[in-house]
Amino acid sequence: MRKVVKYVIIDILRSKMILGYTLLLFLMSYSVFSLEDNVAKGLLTLLNLELFIIPLVSIIFSTIYIYNSSEFIELLVSQPLKRKSIWLSLFTGLSTSLVVAFLIGCGLPIIFFEPTLTGVIMILTGSLLSVIFVTIALFVSVFMRDKTKGTGMAIFIWLYFAIMFDGFVLFLLFQFSDYPLEKPLMAIGFLNPIDMSRILILLRLDVSALMGYTGAVFRNFFGAPAGISIAMLSLIIWIAAPLYFSLNVFKKKDL
Amino acid sequence: MPQIGRYPDNMTIRQIIKMMKDIRKTENINLDEELIQKFDLPAILDKRMRTLSGGTRQKVSASLAFLFSPDVLILDEPTAGLDPVSSEILKEKIIKEKTSGKLIIITSHVLSELDDLITQIVYMHEGKVKFHKEISALQKETGEEKLSKSIAKIMLQNHS
Say what the pLDDT of residue A224 is. Answer: 65
**Cβ–Cβ < 8 Å for B44, B20:** no
A152/A167 Cα distance (integer angstroms): 21
Q: In the predicted model, is pLDDT for residue A53 greater than 60? A: yes
Q: Which residues contact B22 (CB under 8 A, 6 or more apart)?
A: A3
Chain A residues with beta carbon closer than 8 angstroms to that of B22: 3
Chain A residues with beta carbon closer than 8 angstroms to that of B29: none
pLDDT tens digit string along B125-146? 888 887 888 888 888 877 777 7
What is the CA A142 to chain-centroid distance, rounded? 18
pTM of the model: 0.82
Contact A71 B22 (CB under 8 A): no
On whether any CB of chain A is under 8 Å from the CB of B109, the answer is: no
Q: Which domains does chain B have, with CATH numbers?
A: 1-108 (3.40.50.300), 119-160 (no CATH)
Q: Which residue of B has its CA nearest to A3?
A: B23
On whether any CB of chain A is under 8 Å from the CB of B70, the answer is: no
Closest-CA distance, A69 to chain B, in angstroms, reads: 7
Residue of A5, A7, A86, A255 to mutate, interface with B, max B Cβ within 10 Å: A7
- Cβ-Cβ pairs closer than 8 A, A with B, add up to 27
In eight-state DSSP terms, residue B100 is T
Closest-CA distance, B30 to chain A, in angstroms, reads: 17
Could you give the ipTM of this predicted complex? 0.71
Using CB atoms and an 8 Å cut-off, which of residues 16-55 of chain B contact chain A?
A: 16, 19-20, 22-24
Q: In the predicted model, is pLDDT for residue A209 greater than 60? A: no
Closest-CA distance, B2 to chain A, in angstroms, reads: 10
pLDDT tens digit string along A179-194? 877 777 777 878 888 8
Residue of A3, A66, A71, A86 to mutate, interface with B, max B Cβ within 10 Å: A71
Task: Please give the helix or strand (H or E) that residue B135 lies within, else none.
Answer: helix B135-142
Other C-beta atoms closer than 10 Å to the C-beta of A59 total 26
pLDDT tens digit string along A70-105? 888 888 888 888 899 999 999 999 999 999 999 999
- Where does the pLDDT of residue A171 fall: very low under 50, low under 70, confident under 90, or very high at 90 and above? confident
In chain A, domain spans: 2-252
A5/A95 Cα distance (integer angstroms): 11
Say what the pLDDT of residue A95 is. Answer: 93
Segments of chain B assigned E as strands = 72-76, 103-107, 120-125, 128-134
